[in-house]
Amino acid sequence: MDKPRHILRPGARPAPPKEKPAAVISAQPIPAPAIVAASVAAQGQLLDCFAAVPRGAEELAGAELGALGITGAQPGKGGVVFRTDRSGLYRANLWLRTASRVLVQLATFPCATPAELYAGVHDIAWQELITPEMTLAVDCSLRDSALTHSGFVALKTKDAIVDRIREACGRRPNVDTALPDVRINVHLHKNVCTLSLDSSGESLDRRGYRLERNEAPLRETLAAAVVALTGWDGSIPLADPMCGSGTIPVEAALMAARIPPGLQRRFGFQRWLDFDAQLWDSICAEAEAGIRKLPVGLITGYDLDAKALLLAGRNTGKAGLEGQIHFFHAALQDFHPEGDRGVVILNPPYGIRLGEEDDLRELYCQIGDIMKKRCRGWTGYVLTGNLELAKYIGLKASRRYVLYNGAIECRLLKYDLY
Ligand SMILES: C[S@@+](CC[C@H](N)C(=O)[O-])C[C@H]1O[C@@H](n2cnc3c(N)ncnc32)[C@H](O)[C@@H]1O
């Protein structure tokens, strides 16, 4: 077997991406054991990547990659496979609104026993990626495989990595699960192991603008997916009458103002040995130059809860959108949108706790009434995890999208309001 080469060789400028569709990870032919890193390097520094995406938003993430000029992205269940160069990897992390992390695949190999796992991981020249002074962490996910204990697989993977580095350097790196320099992802599916570097580090839904959490905030990636599914393009008003901490208005505003969701945060790849600071600075500078101010009244949010609105205001400021979203302390029952066109998005309470559903039926009836009577000409969307309650809206949805809020299966229901 060829000696595995460093896929992210320090200083090496990547070649422009070729328009070759990336293979779906689980459908790849698996040589035994295959170090994918070596073949990627030979093809001109193209990286096989996987963007993990909340279920239901895979096509959106594929379209986002297309908009970044990354062609051939293949959406699958829970993520998108794509191939790009280092610049594309940085831009994907900075710009993807619907993805939770971007993994760079190092190797795949058959793996049904602890010995196969250890050997496959040990085969990689980890000393080229991690020095003894750096820290590492291993994340693990398993599906339909002979090895069933994720803690054990993560530990065995870590052992093989540090052993390889100790053999090469005489010393081993330490583990830091909170803020490691390099985060490694090991995924077992049907006895095939895929080893990846996590280029994002902290999950991408941590944009950096949310300082405190209210009771039931939407995940930022899901809020971005909701806005994208509405097709809203910033040319007509967008209102969220139950905005809570403002996740939907903030994500909509970031899109309309062309602010990359990751502009305020740091990424895993910035701690890698091959981090190209000059390239990264130029990507950020280009993004910053494209930011625009939003017109007054374009995006509005309302809520009954004054505390949640306080958070919404703080999040807006922290997101670099000070004064560009207008929040009102008002009940849905007083919602009267201005203008004859717009998009209204509601994320009402689901009533997860016992007894809450009774109170919420009335609220869902009112949502239907208010959309029908006061939002003529607008398009309405309701995101809910409770399909029983959704029936009380009493209007016929023209489209239904399935999305997941963590483990909760939700529907985004579309209403054409004539
Ligand atoms: C599921 S939470 C929305 C969470 C929000 N999308 C976020 O990311 O923070 C539902 C919100 O509806 C608000 N709400 C409940 N009844 C309301 C009413 N009658 N009028 C206005 N807001 C209401 C609650 O205060 C809560 O903030």
End-to-end CA separation in angstroms for the chain: 66
The pLDDT value recorded for residue 298 is 97
CATH number for the segment(s) 220-259+266-416: 3.40.50.150
Checking if the pLDDT of 392 tops 60, the result is yes
Mutation test residue for ligand 1: of 304, 365, 367, the one with most atoms within 8 Å of CB: 304
Give the residue-averaged pLDDT of 11-28.
33
Whose C-alpha lies nearest to ligand 1, atom 12? 242
Model confidence at 123, pLDDT cuts 50, 70, 90, reads very high
What pLDDT score was predicted for residue 33?
Answer: 34
Q: Which residue has the tokens 């009402």?
A: 348
Q: What's the CA-to-centroid distance between 292 and ligand 1, angstroms?
A: 29
Rounded distance between C-alpha atoms, residue 323 and residue 300, angstroms:
11
| Token pair listed for 364 | 């869902």
Nearest CA to ligand 1 atom 25: 305
Query: Could you tell me the sign of the dihedral formed by the alpha carbons of 206, 210, 214, 220, in that order?
Result: negative
Domain edges within the chain = 25-198, 220-259+266-416
Q: State residue 20's pLDDT score.
A: 34
Ligand 1 binding pocket includes 248 (Cβ within 6 Å):
yes
Confidence (pLDDT) at 213: 67
Q: Is the CB of 389 under 6 A from ligand 1?
A: no
What is the percent of the chain with per-residue pLDDT over 90, rounded to a whole number? 83
Size (the chain), residues: 418
Ordered DSSP codes for 244-296: TTTHHHHHHHHHHTT--TTTTS--GGGGSTT--HHHHHHHHHHHHHT--PPPT
pLDDT at residue 19 tops 50: no
Q: How far does residue 348's CA lie from ligand 1's centre (Å)?
A: 6
| CATH number at 25-198 | 3.30.2130.30
pLDDT score recorded for residue 9: 34
- What kind and span of H or E run contains 329? strand 326-329
> What is the rounded distance in angstroms from the CA atom of residue 202 to the CA atom of residue 340?
42
Does pLDDT of 148 surpass 90? Answer: yes
Query: Is the confidence at residue 379, as pLDDT, over 90?
Result: yes
Instruction: Indicate whether residue 216 lines ligand 1 (CB < 6 A).
Output: yes
* More confidently predicted of 121 and 1: 121
Least confident stretch, 13-17, 84-88, 335-339: 13-17
308 lines ligand 1 (CB under 6 A): yes
* Relative orientation angle of helices 58-67 and 220-230, to the nearest 10 degrees: 80
Q: Kindly report, residue by residue over 163-182, the tens digit of the pLDDT.
A: 999 999 999 999 999 999 99
Among the atoms of ligand 1, which is closest to the Cα of residue 244? 27
Q: Is the pTM of this model over 0.85?
A: yes
The pLDDT of residue 42 is above 50: no
pLDDT score at 214: 63
**pLDDT surpasses 70 at 29:** no
pLDDT at site 137: 98
The residue contributing the CA closest to ligand 1 atom 1 is 349
Residue 77 to residues 19, 63, 148, 241, 325, Cα–Cα distance (Å): 22, 15, 21, 32, 34
Ligand 1 site, residue 347, Cβ cutoff 6 A: yes
Q: What is the pLDDT of residue 344?
A: 98
pLDDT tens-digit series, residues 264-316: 999 999 999 999 999 999 999 999 999 999 999 999 999 999 999 999 999 99
Say if ligand 1 is within 6 A of residue 214 CB.
yes
pLDDT, tens only, 217-262: 899 999 999 999 999 999 999 999 999 999 999 999 999 999 999 9
Ligand 1 midpoint to CA 219 (Å) = 14
| Cα–Cα nearest to 84, from 297, 341, 283 | 283
Which of 205, 303, 389 for mutating ligand 1's site (highest number of atoms within 8 Å of CB)? Answer: 303
- Confidence category of residue 151, pLDDT binned at 50, 70, 90: very high
